[in-house]
Structure 1
Amino acid sequence: MKDHPLEQVRGNPSRPLQTIRQLAIDPEMCMYALTMSTAESKNIKEAMADSAWIEAMQEELHQFDRLQ
């Protein structure tokens, strides 16, 4: 996580990295991860600051181009 900006790190950055399998063992962490992974921006300003959202929107636009 040292190479990622702190605003992109979900959860406590001082905790060790956990895999999906490890999260499945801990139901509370599994629910937290699920909630965080499906969180949507509240407005366009928030969305435009989210590089993952921008990437997802670009991919959707590329899908439209491929379908034409």
Structure 2
Amino acid sequence: MIHNDQELKATQERIEYFQRLLSQLRVTATPEEFPMVAGGYRAELVRMQDEVLEYLTRHASAPAPMEAS
């Protein structure tokens, strides 16, 4: 969960890193290993992108939602 703009920036940088990594893996991984390797990165990218959208669509004055335990 993203709580502030600093965490937003860090998450966006991590998304960019994972995208670059996947771009390289498309070329360097074998066709057999690529789906297994890419699946984990894809799932993490989707999770992080969802967090970014959740943060960006919450007004700046709204409190951050409480984390589930």
TM-score norm. by structure 2 comes to 0.29
Larger RCO, structure (CA 8 Å, separation 6 or more): 2
With structure 1 as the length reference, what TM-score do the two structures score? 0.29
